[in-house]
Structure 1
Amino acid sequence: MQWYFVAALLTVLTSSQGILTTLSQSNGGYKYDYATVPFLAEAFKLAVSSLLLWQEIRACPSTRMTTDWRSVRLYPIPSIIYLIHNNVQFATLTYVDTSTYQIMGNLKIVTTGILFRLFLKKKLSNLQWMAIVLLAVGTTTSQVKGCGEASCQSLFSAPIQGYMLGILSACMSALAGVYTEFLMKKNNDSLYWQNVQLYTFGVIFNMARLLLDDFQGGFEKGPWWQRLFDGYTITTWMVVLNLGSTGLLVSWLMKYADNIVKVYSTSMAMLLTMVLSIYLFTFKPTLQLFLGIIICMMSLHMYFAPPSMLVDYPPNAKAAPENLKEITVERKSDS
């Protein structure tokens, strides 16, 4: 039952992620360098994991920690993927609203299903593939713009750049999730030791990205460590804590549960995000959005439902063939 609580908490954090990021904007942009947010989030996760690892070693000196380079060298890969994903996420939210971003994020179920089949050799049932197709239909439906108004100039409700970035973000999220699950379950090492390796490389790569931005800008604004907190507000710090806490919960699910549980909990945040957006922003839900959400929720139910829930025969219908067979045998013996 413990993973149910973690999944529910992850749902809440995921639903507030896009909202907090949008609230941290000013006039449709960021006053702070949003590349510093993933760096601080990785540093936060590294600090928490190091503290928990230290406590675990004190309680159990025989804590399993693999230090072989053949194992350690695998950890930079998800760090690079998460680096790309986190920065694409900020760019996407400059083009689309929070509910649109959350719904487009459900595309990671499609990419996760494909990657599970290719890399983890996880076979999906026909019902699950039907759910994936239905999810794609629901996502598209939610984004179709109503053209009853005279000002309607485009079929879709956001610029094409927003959709392209949203698709890229979904692909990066699925790839990072599948690879991280493979990494976490590869051996029986301590979760905190695995996190320390993962987030150490995360800090290094995010720092390299900040240095690259300085070189490209000719150090006009000074080195990144001098302007690290420029433009930061309480909301921005909440974004950092949100990203950091979400990452820690995801790593726990990857170790002890399943990547599908993670995808399911983050996808369930879609409806919660839409409801909160109505009250926090000038967001007016459309009929297409409601239809898209209903279709997406149906697809999620189909994806995780056992096949017997789709077609359930009554007990009498199941027993009929057996009775018929018995009668046939009896007639044969009489003859």
Structure 2
Amino acid sequence: MATKPNNKDNVIKYSSLLVLVLQNTSLVLFMRYAMTGNRPKFLKAISVFFAEVFKFIASVILVCLQERSIKTGLAQIYDQFVHHWRDALKVLVPAVVYTIQNFLLYVAVENLPAATYMVTYQLKILTTAVFTVLVLGRKLSIQQWISLFFLFGGVAIVQYDQKMSNDREKAERLAAAMATAVPDLPTTPMPTIEDAFTKLMGSASEALNSTMPPVLTRTKREVHEQNSILEFFTQQILAGFIAVLVACCMSGFAGIYFEKILKGSSVSIWIRNIQLALPSIFFALLFAFVKDHNDIFADGGAPAAIWGRMLHGFDWAVWVTIAISAFGGLVVAVVIKFADNILKAFATSFAIVLNCILAYFLFNFRPTMFFVVGASFVIGAVFVYSIYPYRQQELQSKCFILILTFSQDFGIDVTEKWGLRQNLTQMTDYFALEKKSCLLKEAKKHSFPKE
């Protein structure tokens, strides 16, 4: 049976959730700043690799600080990897799953429209809840399930509105650039109505005569080519949907599996982070070389040339973004240890809304009614999930009282009621937990044999 969290754990729990919200918000703002303007483009896969390296170094430092000795800290890390290598291999599972997930997300981005991808990927909220129930055996109330669906809908609406806003902003910039580049055209006199009508009828007749024969004499080859193109795009979209759905399932499973590892042993969360970061560094570098092979080897295969291409475009904003991302990995481990993955999903979703609000002041983001509706869904879901937790004992006690009252109305004697009570106690084991509950005061009005 899980122990009841003390006040210190609750402080760490809610503090880590708050820090996670701030970290996600600042990460998006710095990432947007690093990717806009006239800066040279940097390789995002390489930035993920460096984030894992930073997280590994920070975790080693935190272990040494926790042990108050560099020698003792390094010895403990060595002991966990050498003498408890079977336990360390458990963390290899989420590392591999996260790598496959990143590859599938890359496939999804390449085959789906950006808005569709951003909305569909929010299904990871629901898959996380499903794996919480299946793997951890944790139960959610009906209100909490409803709040999760509202959270999914709210985040999807906010992400979609943000994507549309970015597209509008790009279109306005392009229109402004074209307006300044095109010289003033000479003005021409307006034609009369008779001239315009005559010209329109002549153009329509000419267009009709020129377009009808090709349509009527279209060959089977042209029809086959058009059908092949349509089938190709359909297959691409289907592949993108399958990739993002599998990635959502992997995201939920990996998060819950890592939560089970963190909460199921007394190993320090910083050592667990080291165990997770080591294979992640290798997989991130491998993924970067596969994804950006042409860019990395653009200047040849010499080590200096490869290193130079890997660091191309890395200015102070990119390094700050990498540091914030690595810090987020440490915060996520604390959140999973003292809270859970569902609360982490709520924190990151709330950070998306907060980021859009800050973008209104910093990046000229213009919220629409869609954003207001989506943000309201997210905020409402946060409150509903926290206010209506699953209360198994209270439900069982209420059912017990209801059965007793029902049996009394139908004239069942005390002995039968006592047998019913005894059976319920054996099946649910709630009676020992609810002896001091005020709900059993109603049941004590009946005469039962003493235990």
TM class by smaller structure: 0.7 to 0.9
Counterpart selection for 1:280 from 338, 362, 365? 362
Please, what TM-score do these two structures have when normalized by structure 1? 0.73
The answer (yes or no) to whether the contact 2:55–2:327 under 8 Å persists in 1 is: yes
Q: Does 1:46 align with 2:46?
A: no
Gaps of 5+ in 1: 152-159, 310-321, 330-335
Give the secondary structure class of the aligned counterpart of 2:310: coil
How many Å apart are 1:234 and its aligned residue? 1.8
Q: Match for 1:209: what amino acid?
A: F
Matched residue, 2:394: none
The superposition leaves residues 143-190 of structure 1 with CA deviations (integer Å, 9 ceiling, x where unpaired) of 4779xx9x9xxxxxxxx89x9687676555433321211221232112
The alignment-based identity, stated in percent, is 26
How many Å apart are 1:138 and its aligned residue? 3.1
Give the secondary structure class of the aligned counterpart of 1:220: coil
Task: Return the alpha-carbon distance in structure 2 between the equivalents of residues 195 and 107 of structure 1.
Answer: 26
The answer (yes or no) to whether the contact 1:105–1:267 under 8 Å persists in 2 is: no
1:29-68 equivalent positions in 2, closer than 5 A: 31-59=41-69, 65=80, 67-68=83-84
Task: Return the alpha-carbon distance in structure 1 between the equivalents of residues 91 and 251 of structure 2.
Answer: 16
Give the secondary structure class of the aligned counterpart of 1:35: helix
Go from structure 1 to structure 2 and tell me whether the alpha carbon gap of 1:307 and 1:10 turns closer, same or farther (over 3 Å shift): closer
Matched residue, 1:225: 307
Matched residue, 1:128: 144
Structure 1 residues 233-242 or 277-286, which shifts more?
A: 277-286
Task: Return the alpha-carbon distance in structure 2 between the equivalents of residues 225 and 247 of structure 1.
Answer: 25
1:1-335 equivalent positions in 2, closer than 5 A: 1-26=11-36, 31-59=41-69, 65=80, 67-83=83-99, 88=105, 107-142=123-158, 143=160, 171-213=249-291, 219-222=297-300, 224-306=306-388
The superposition leaves residues 264-322 of structure 1 with CA deviations (integer Å, 9 ceiling, x where unpaired) of 2222212211111112224211101111110222122222222699xxxxxxxxxxxx9
Gaps of 5+ in 2: 1-10, 172-236, 392-403, 412-451
Q: Match for 2:336: what amino acid?
A: M
Task: Return the alpha-carbon distance in structure 1 between the equivalents of residues 268 and 368 of structure 2.
Answer: 47
Which one has the bigger helix percentage?
2
Matched residue, 1:316: none
The answer (yes or no) to whether the contact 1:24–1:30 under 8 Å persists in 2 is: no
Aligned length: 303
The answer (yes or no) to whether the contact 2:123–2:248 under 8 Å persists in 1 is: yes
Greater C-alpha radius of gyration: 2
Aligned residues: CA RMSD: 4.2
Go from structure 1 to structure 2 and tell me whether the alpha carbon gap of 1:40 and 1:302 turns closer, same or farther (over 3 Å shift): same
Q: Match for 1:293: what amino acid?
A: A
How many Å apart are 1:136 and its aligned residue? 3.6
Task: Return the alpha-carbon distance in structure 1 between the equivalents of residues 54 and 296 of structure 2.
Answer: 29
How many Å apart are 1:57 and its aligned residue? 3.9
The answer (yes or no) to whether the contact 2:155–2:352 under 8 Å persists in 1 is: no
Give the secondary structure class of the aligned counterpart of 1:231: coil
Task: Return the alpha-carbon distance in structure 1 between the equivalents of residues 329 and 139 of structure 2.
Answer: 27
Give the secondary structure class of the aligned counterpart of 1:46: helix
How many Å apart are 1:85 and its aligned residue? 5.5
The answer (yes or no) to whether the contact 2:125–2:152 under 8 Å persists in 1 is: no
How many Å apart are 1:241 and its aligned residue? 0.8
Give the secondary structure class of the aligned counterpart of 1:80: helix
Q: Match for 2:88: what amino acid?
A: V
Go from structure 1 to structure 2 and tell me whether the alpha carbon gap of 1:300 and 1:40 turns closer, same or farther (over 3 Å shift): same
Matched residue, 1:332: none
